[in-house]
Amino acid sequence: MSSSTHSIAYDPAVDAPKPHHPVYDYDSGPPVDRGKFAIWLFLATEVMFFTGLIGSYVVIRTGAPTWPDPSSRLAVDLTAFNTFVLIVSSYFVVRSLQAIQKGNRGALLKWLGLAILFGSFFVGVQVYEYIHLVHEGSTPNVDLFWSTFYAMTGFHGMHVIVGVIWLICVWIAAARGKYSAENHVRVELAGLYWHFVDLVWVLLFTIVYLF
């Protein structure tokens, strides 16, 4: 009785399903986190996207006999302040990553929260600027200046909104204790995207508002 019971018992060492592929005792993946690999690849495509936008603007602008002085049409001082706000938010993201690398979850939440706040403020100022311009009649169909202005700042603004939503998701996950000194790659990925958005704005601000 006991021997027959023993013969049908499940022994994982013997009866567990065998893998259908070779099992190695080392990680055969690339020597970088897969998420990081993917985000850098994605950012490379984003660079080309904005290169196309800026390239089109340069062709149109240099091909126009006249072009208005941006400072006569746009609130450069307000946008310069907004640029400052975005750079500060980027700095806060750096601090948040440094905090979680040291295992400080409280500081992560604080710095990330500030970054979200400043990022949202940036979006708010841009929405305010758009509303003000549209009320003045400066819509994208007026002329090429406004077409290119709305195209470039609009696409960038959408990226900022995505970035803010992404940072909020990371903040919520951080509040639930999902990140630690050993596991924080998602904070870094969101940060990489956010810094890229900041980098693009640095160039766009110069090209659209100061040239």
Partner 1 sequence: MSNQEHSEFDANKVFIALIIATAIEVAWGLKMPGPNWWVWGGLITIAFYKGMLIFQYFMHFKFEGWIVKGLILPTPILIMIVVGAIMPDVGFNQRLDYELTDMADPVTGEIHRIGQMDVGEHESGGAPAGEEGEH
The residues, any chain, with a CB within 8 Å of residue 7's CB and separated by 6 or more, are: none
Distance, CA of 60 to CA of 93 (rounded, Å) = 36
Q: Please return the burial class of 54, using the count of CB atoms within 10 Å of its CB with bins 0-12, 13-18 and 19+.
A: middle
Please, what is the minimum distance in Å from the beta carbon of residue 21 to partner 1?
Answer: 24
Q: How many CB atoms lie within 10 A of CB 130?
A: 16
Please, what is the minimum distance in Å from the beta carbon of residue 104 to partner 1?
Answer: 14
> Are the beta carbons of 161 and 123 closer than 8 angstroms?
yes
Q: Which of 84, 131, 158, 165 binds partner 1 (CB under 8 A)?
A: 84
Q: Which is nearer to partner 1, 123 or 144 (CB)?
A: 144
Contact between 147 and partner 1 by CB under 8 A: the answer reads: yes
Residues in the chain: 211
Contact between 90 and partner 1 by CB under 8 A: the answer reads: yes
Residues interacting with partner 1, by CB under 8 A? 30-33, 36-37, 40-41, 44, 47-48, 51-52, 55, 58-69, 71-72, 76-77, 80, 83-84, 87-88, 90-91, 93-95, 98, 101, 141, 143-145, 147, 184-185, 188, 191-192, 195-196, 198-199, 202-203, 205-207, 209-211
